[in-house]
Structure 1
Amino acid sequence: MGDVQAIVATLGYVFSPDRRQILMIRRDTRPDDIHFGYYNGLGGKLEPGEDVITGLRREIHEEAGLDCTGVELAGTISWPGFGRNGENWLGFLFRVTAWTGTPHSANPEGSLHWVDVADVLAGKLPMWESDRHFLPLIFADEPEVFHGVMPFSAGRATSWSYNT
């Protein structure tokens, strides 16, 4: 199996004030992007010297122009083999429940959209098939922090398991 060196990343789901929608990016600027055409939360790789909250706040400020004032840990996911060259990723997933600013309409990665949580949970948006496994945990009425592992092979999730 080798060692578990991983790229550490954040993934944030920014809620509208009424909690019915979330701000998602549609990755539609670079056709060679492995996420091309998919909707996803906001976030990215941690920089050296950052904790995960600082990294999340930086990424959401860069990507959406928002300053996060309310952040809740939703869970963590280990994605062995997820990277373009088979790198392992470790993601810290957050609910952003309060923020200030006016969201950008787009950024260099794609366009930003408010989407209904119900549509996300119903699978009505193009996204990583594997996201459907953990999104119900993030958007649960009474969420519990979860810790999951989702191995990838050849660009697809091969299994999913988690603990709370």
Structure 2
Amino acid sequence: MQAIIATLGYVLSPDRRQVLMLRRDTRPDDLHYGLYNGLGGKLEPGEDVVTGMRREIHEESGLECGTVELAGTVSWPGFGRSGENWFGFIFRIPTWTGEPKRNCPEGTLIWTDLADILAGRVPMWESDHHFLSLVFAPEPRVFHGVMPFKDRRAQSWRVS
């Protein structure tokens, strides 16, 4: 399977009660328009996933990552706008320096209560809740999941 390799990171507040989320609200043609998401994007040629994650966090938020923890991976066959396959490395970023940007080209950065995210009170991809409970588990373990998409909807979820 050929796939677009990407990163998705969740920056935690110092007390770990909030997550810096990106509300995708700048481009109405954005596949994620109107939804909240973590920060991240596609890897550039020659980048490893941690370097790519650090770059994306800095580009989108202005923050410099301290600790970058691998939470897991998700394969999203058929996720892309034209049915492309995506493969994502999911990270927690519990330590960082700097102040979040006021202007991000992808949308608005918002500190969001983790409890609201986990309870489904934040507009996001419906399917994200399958893996976010693993990312923010009290005793997290690295997970690997597969979530096939069709017509922009998750068809199933398997995790190991």
Do the two structures share a fold, i.e. TM-score over 0.5?
Answer: yes
Q: Does 1:68 align with 2:65?
A: yes
Tell me which residue corresponds to 2:94.
Answer: 97
Residue 141 of structure 2 is aligned to residue 152 of structure 1: no
Greater CA deviation, 12-21 or 98-107?
Answer: 98-107
Q: How far 1:25 moved relative to its partner?
A: 0.2
Number of the residue aligned with 1:55: 52
Q: Distance in 2 between matches of 1:97 and 1:161?
A: 27
Instruction: Decide which of 100, 104, 109 is 1:107's aligned counterpart.
Output: 104
Q: Distance in 2 between matches of 1:15 and 1:106?
A: 19
User: Contact 1:105/1:113 (CA < 8 Å) preserved in 2?
Assistant: no
Matches within 5 A, 1:4-153: 4-153=1-150
What is the CA–CA distance in structure 1 between the aligned matches of 2:104 and 2:134, rounded to whole Å?
28
Deviations 1:106-160 (A, max 9, x none): 3111000000000000100110000011110001010000000000001100000
Q: Structure 1 unaligned runs (5+)?
A: none
Partner Cα separation in structure 1 for residue 121 and residue 101 of structure 2: 23
CA-to-aligned-CA distance 1:8-50 (integer Å, 9 cap, x gap): 0000000000000000000001111110110000000000000
* Counterpart-to-counterpart distance in 2, 1:140 and 1:123: 15
Instruction: Deviation per CA, 1:82-119: give whole Å up to 9, x if none.
Output: 00111100000000010011011331110000000000
Aligned partners of 2:88 and 2:103: how far apart in 1? 23
- 1-side partners of 2:83 and 2:5: how far apart? 14
Distance in 2 (alpha carbons) for counterparts of 1:74 and 1:59? 17
Runs of 4+ in 1 over 6 A off after TM superposition: none
Residue identity opposite 1:145 in structure 2: V
How many residues align? The count is 160
| Aligned-residue RMSD, C-alpha | 0.5
More strand by share: 1
Aligned to 1:10, the other structure's residue is in SS state: strand
Unmatched segments (≥5 aa) in structure 2: none
| TM-score, scaled to structure 1 | 0.97
